[in-house]
Structure 1
Amino acid sequence: MILVTAATGKLGRLVVEELLEKVPASQVAVGVRNPAKAADFTARGVQVRQADYSRPETLGAALAGVEKVLLISSNEVGQRATQHQAVIAAAKKAGVRLLAYTSILHADRTRMALAGEHKATEEAIRASGLPFVFLRNGWYFENYTENLGPALAHGALVGSAGEGRVAAATRADYAAAAAAVLTTPGQENKVYELAGDVPFTMAELAAEVSRQAGKPIAYNNLPAQQYQGVLVGAGVPGPFAEILADSDVGASRGELNDSSGDLRRLIGRPTTPLADAVAVAFKR
């Protein structure tokens, strides 16, 4: 039995879809905070189990009889390490034979603040003694393409990434990699640096958006503190705006770039190109 946590989230749903193309539904379970939101999975023969990272008492039953778990990282920045530790403890108690975790690119050496809880989670998983796989996901194209409204309205993308190259991929690319790992033998204790095939600068992203929008879109590089202020002005909570600005600075240092090719090899095809990812945004 394979269990995917956070399975009603954007990445989780894609992973489940990929799994259902590879194994029977009877071999797939999902752990979700609110089972009512997973009724469509139930209808397809997938086991739906309540699993709330913040309620450890739900995790034991959720992991009962499970051989492999995909722990999709929590979206509650600042609470992740504690939440993940609860899942790790439950997996250990349940005798799980493989715990896969969606970490962050270069978690062991990046200076990005966002990586702190991912690094702590990796260390906790190693300390547990559980066989593991670290899926160190790079940046998602959707981090940019789902938020193009302001850029189109004002004729500019803004950030603090400078000339740093970002090797992004789509959620679907990362989901395919997770499903491949969960359904392929011999994955124990592997670490994958997952990133897109062709890295790009923010200026190149702006140029592609401009081309597809049919209007000039520039990239305006700002000091991190100024960019943080722009984000706060757009409604992003202050602490998270600080993390996003810090991540852009990390990009400027090359910390969101990678040439390992791990993602391409796992999914058995090239990763989604920049032009294709931007095109999806204009089809919504």
Structure 2
Amino acid sequence: MKIGITGATGQLGRIAVDKLKLYTPSDHLVALVRSPEKAVELGIEVRLFDYSNPETLAESLKGIDKLLLISGSEVGQREVQHKNVIEAAKASGVKQIIYTSLLHADTSSLNLATEHLATELILKESGITYTILRNGWYTENYFGSLAGAIESGILAGSAGEGKISSASREDYAEAAAKVLTGDGHANKTYELAGDIAYTLADFAKEASEQSGKFIQYKNISEKEYSELLIKIGLPESLAASIAGWDIGASKDDLFDDSKTLSSLLGRPTTTLKDAIKTFLIQ
């Protein structure tokens, strides 16, 4: 059985490849990437694969039985790109697609949900056996601002008292690997999130304890947060999106207490304490 992994050189994709190697021989794995030269170190077969070049996708998918479709990084282009991949997979005889979607994509107020939900519909209508992994927030999403928070003593955001059930990329990648190599997942949708929810104030407290430097969470308005992110160098559109995601978090869009992820893993998800500790010692 051949398993194809799209975006195999990305942050989630690389970990997924490593996890898959624990469950299946390396010669059963195929990295599907835009820049093959960056994938050589993965130690598996590599094929050129660009979501935006539909005429080349079907050829690259020949012989692939199961496909891990990691959602594209180009927000606003995802629906079209994912449709290209799904149509090519159908033409090439791919038997099952495992897609990384968004937690509660059907009810979430996050602007990311629209393209994920559209992709889910395209996938279901394709007739291909599917498994939808609605991944929650990555704990690592907050690490980009952690160094600045430690230095300044302030972690700013607009999430209020919203509960965040994040997990590590390793957790999500391992779950994907288990689904790809296991049975009983056909045509199922899984809401995946960390076992223990926290607020950004809790995050600041844990970061304080781990770093030895006091960090206070400062809740500000969406507009203020967006302006702050622009001030530190983020593009205006990205700053607006990040601030908007925090507003979604304030509405508990990032919360889930089903513990489905840890059930798939057969172990607890990575704690906030351990995730921050690992980040700080790197």
Q: TM-score, normalised by structure 2?
A: 0.97
Q: Within the alignment, does 1:22 sit opposite 2:20 as a pair? A: no
- Counterpart pick for 1:248 among 246, 254, 260: 246
* Partner residue in 2 for 1:37: 38
Paired AA for residue 173 in structure 1: D
Report Cα offsets for 1:101-128 as digits up to 9, x if no partner.
1001000111111211111111111121
Matches for 1:205-284 after TM superposition, within 5 Å? 205-284=203-282
CA separation in 1, counterparts of 2:178 and 2:231?
A: 41
Q: CA deviation at 1:148?
A: 1.0
The list of structure 1 runs, each at least 4 consecutive aligned residues, that deviate by more than 3 angstroms after superposition, is: none
CA separation in 2, counterparts of 1:211 and 1:58?
A: 51
* Partner residue in 2 for 1:134: 132
CA separation in 2, counterparts of 1:58 and 1:149?
A: 42
- Asked if the contact 1:180/1:267 (under 8 Å) is kept, the reply is yes
* Partner residue in 1 for 2:8: 7
CA separation in 1, counterparts of 2:96 and 2:230?
A: 40
- Aligned residue for 2:145, secondary structure, equals coil
- Asked if the contact 1:145/1:277 (under 8 Å) is kept, the reply is no
Q: CA deviation at 1:30?
A: 1.0
- Counterpart pick for 2:119 among 118, 121, 125: 121
Q: CA RMSD in A?
A: 1.0
Q: CA deviation at 1:186?
A: 2.3
CA separation in 1, counterparts of 2:234 and 2:76?
A: 16
- Asked if the contact 1:199/1:257 (under 8 Å) is kept, the reply is yes
Q: CA deviation at 1:142?
A: 0.3
Q: CA deviation at 1:61?
A: 1.7
CA separation in 2, counterparts of 1:164 and 1:112?
A: 14
* Partner residue in 1 for 2:169: 171
CA separation in 2, counterparts of 1:146 and 1:61?
A: 38
Report Cα offsets for 1:169-198 as digits up to 9, x if no partner.
000000000000000122111101000000
Matches for 1:33-72 after TM superposition, within 5 Å? 33-41=34-42, 44=43, 46-72=44-70
- Asked if the contact 1:2/1:68 (under 8 Å) is kept, the reply is yes
Q: CA deviation at 1:57?
A: 2.3
CA separation in 2, counterparts of 1:245 and 1:68?
A: 36
CA separation in 1, counterparts of 2:154 and 2:121?
A: 40
Paired AA for residue 226 in structure 1: E
Q: TM-score, normalised by structure 1?
A: 0.97
- Aligned residue for 2:109, secondary structure, equals coil
The sequence identity of aligned pairs, in percent, is 48
Q: 5+ residue gaps in structure 2?
A: none
CA separation in 2, counterparts of 1:118 and 1:108?
A: 9
Report Cα offsets for 1:116-143 as digits up to 9, x if no partner.
1111111111121211111100000100
CA separation in 2, counterparts of 1:79 and 1:12?
A: 19
* Partner residue in 1 for 2:185: 187
* Partner residue in 2 for 1:151: 149
- Asked if the contact 1:68/1:182 (under 8 Å) is kept, the reply is yes
- Aligned residue for 1:148, secondary structure, equals helix
Q: CA deviation at 1:239?
A: 1.6
